[in-house]
Amino acid sequence: MATEKEIVVSGIRPTGYLHLGNYFGAIRNYIRMQEDFNCYFFVADWHSLTTHPDPKDLPGNVMRVLAENIASGLDPEKVTLYVQSDIPEISELYLLMNMLAYVGELEKVPTFKDKVRLQPENVNAGLLTYPVLMSVDILIQRAVKVPVGKDQGQHLEMARNFAQRFNHRYGDLFPEPVAFNYGDNLVRVQSLDGKGKMSKSENEMATLYLSDEDDKIRQKLKKAKTDSGSGVPGEPMPESVQNLIELMKLVSTPDTVQFFEDAYNNGSIRYGDMKTQLGEDMVKFIAPIREKAKDLQQDTAYLREIMKAGAEKARANAAQTLHQAKKLIGINYY
């Protein structure tokens, strides 16, 4: 057999609409990885249940996040794309892995402690064991690389701990997964109001969604924070202007970026012009993704086909791991 590609797993939460930060922070990495690795990407619908989404909304959210990811360039022919709840093997291994997870270590996880602080009225057991489920998502496919941001570092460390603990007690089965990103590809898109990272939950006008209509995009950029006046030549660029330049670097031509950098440096910059230009380039970037996502979302038959085909492949691989795990544990009676 030819050398096999390394296995990659990543989970996508079906909450909120995808925005530019998701695109340049995560999806672009996925798109590159699909060429180099054996990728298993899934919608983490079980994980989303920790916050009790409205049952009426869940199917639409799952379909939308699939459509938006495919529209952004994930190719269902190249990656195994599936929905977590279509893989019952995950729930069985989750049960088994819970026996190796200590309540004490789960209670110490920073994301859990945050939730306890932020939503004390809903500290459910699923929240506590979230890292166990996430570890199983990864381990059941025997993944070695996981494209996640820093905020998931602790969860990944737990996945390695659980893998080690299982291997040590029952015999070698799980490789230890590590976080992976193409370093040069990691872009942190800043919010348009200059208040940190672009995110779904904060100021809606400061976030560019892949579903935004053209006029909305233009309007948001018009309102983006800049300096007044035309800057002081020789002085370092204010952060707000720097942020717009960074956005331009993502969606405009190098010539355009150069033009406005030069204009800043020689004191002739007009922020209104700059934002109009950025608005047009952003529209050119987002519109095709938005339209493709819309079409895909209408085509539920196609999306279901993708989900089914993905689930079949993911289940086949997961079933092998689960079978081995049970055998090693001693659930081996026939």
Q: Which of 89, 92, 137, 193 touches ligand TRP (CB under 6 A)?
A: 137
**Sole window of 4-12, 52-60, 307-315, 326-334 interacting with ligand TRP (rule: CB under 6 A):** 4-12
What span, in angstroms and rounded, lies between the C-alpha atoms of 318 and 325? 11
Establish if 152 lies at the interface with ligand TRP (CB under 6 A): yes
115 is an active site residue: yes
Catalytic residue among 108, 113, 197, 308: 197
> Which CA distances in Å does 197 have to 11, 146, 174, 193, 203?
21, 22, 35, 10, 11
- Number of residues binding to ligand TRP, judged by CB under 6 A: 12
**Sole window of 73-81, 146-154, 276-284, 291-299 interacting with ligand TRP (rule: CB under 6 A):** 146-154
308 is an active site residue: no
200 is an active site residue: yes
**Sole window of 71-79, 144-152, 167-175, 281-289 interacting with ligand TRP (rule: CB under 6 A):** 144-152
Catalytic residue among 200, 216, 294, 326: 200
From 252, 271, 275, 254, select the one nearest 263 (Cα to Cα). Answer: 271
Least distance to ligand TRP, CB of residue 95, Å: 17
Question: Which residue, 137 or 193, has its beta carbon nearer to ligand TRP?
Answer: 137
Q: Which amino acid is at 135?
A: S
Catalytic residues, by residue number, are 115, 197, 200
Binding site for ligand TRP (CB under 6 A): 9-11, 13, 44, 47, 134, 137-138, 146, 148, 152
